[in-house]
Chains A and B, each alone.
Chain A
Amino acid sequence: MTWIVAVPLVLFAEALYTWFLLRRRWFLLAPPSR
């Protein structure tokens, strides 16, 4: 495995992780109540 292949894989994994966090409306992401 070289970084030529690893970089896109790592970025794709991170995109999925971000999508999962934001799409699930994870409670920590809710804006603070005033």
Chain B
Amino acid sequence: MLRFGVAVLSLLGLAKAVSFCLRTTDDQAMQRTFGRFVVWFALPCESRWPRDAQDARSARNQGRARLLRGAIECGLVVALTFAYARLAWIANHFWFDQLWTDLFVGLWLPGCFDVFTGLVMQTGLQLPEVFRLPVLASSPLDFWSRRWNLFYSRWAYRNLVFPLRRVLRPLPAVAAVFVVSAAFHEYLVLLTLGETRGEMTAFFLLQGAAVIAEIWWRRNRGPRRLPRLAAWTLQSAWMGLTTVLFFARMERILAFDMAHRI
């Protein structure tokens, strides 16, 4: 399973190297000295050097709020783990199991990142949010552009969409973001398990198609919206359905079923 760690680190390194070479980093002050560069390169997200003492204080305060949110998410992760071990009907039913996995991952990774960024922000560094409560997403566009892995979405905007907009129309440029994401995830699976059947590509192309359809719909049909609860239910069902593809391989790599062993 060490291979998965190497694969993730190599992708993070690639992303950092690209934004370093294209000079599209969040804050050039993070590259002003070798020490800052090391910190910037090693962090699994973007970082900004505080402009002054006031800026550092505000980062610490925001970091505390981030820690609180992370603690709540981690608490829910523990509760979900126990629920899975105690309530047999979750594991015994394919779709309950699938929704449980979605909920678990949607709280576990954001929880880890909130606690992590909250801790690092106590030094005064400003780390923009990477996850913003993705379990509350109300549409595919909301999920991918405002809630899930905002490090990748900001990186992709600066290094893919922005340069590609010179030669492509907006929607093909958005499609390119999902194609690159599919390639990154196929690489993760291939390097970890040594084989792939293209489930990741299918998942990210489906998600990209949904996002493009939503952008097109909003542009042509106006800002009519579903009631929030209905939108959330639809989005959760869509995710439950499509993440079958995503977890076809990822489940074996990350071993979420360890709750069985408690």
Question: How many residues of chain A are within 8 Å of chain B by beta carbon?
Answer: 27
Given contacts A2-B1, A3-B255, A11-B44, contact A29 B33 (CB under 8 A): yes
Q: Do residues B1 and A4 form an inter-chain contact, with CB atoms below 8 A?
A: no
A: residues with CB less than 8 A from B are 1-8, 10-12, 14-19, 21-23, 26-32
Q: Considering the complex, give the chain B residue whose CB is closest to the CB of A26.
A: B35
Q: Is the CB of B116 within 8 A of A15?
A: yes
Q: Which of B32, B35, B36, B258 contacts A2 (CB 8 A)?
A: B258
Complex-state Cα separation, A11 to B67, whole angstroms: 14
> Is B119 close to A, CB under 8 A?
yes
- In the complex, are the beta carbons of B254 and A4 less than 8 A apart? yes
Give min CB distance, B53 to chain A, whole Å: 14
Selected from B122, B124, B254, the residue in CB contact (under 8 A) with A3 is B254
Q: Is B245 part of the binding interface, using a Cβ–Cβ cutoff of 8 Å?
A: no
Considering the complex of A and B, which 5 residue pairs feature the smallest CB-CB distances, nearest first? A28-B35, A2-B255, A29-B35, A15-B119, A11-B116
Contacts of B33 in A (CB 8 A): 28-32
- Verify if B108 is at the interface (C-beta below 8 Å from A): yes
A2 to B250, CA, bound (A): 12
Q: Which residue of A lies closest to B34 (CB)?
A: A28
**Chain B positions 103-134 with a Cβ under 8 Å from a chain A Cβ:** 108-109, 112-113, 115-116, 119-120, 122-125
- Cross-chain contact B44 with A29 (CB below 8 angstroms): no
Residue of B nearest to A23 (CB): B123
A20 to B34, CA, bound (A): 16
Q: Contact: B42 with A18, CB < 8 Å?
A: yes
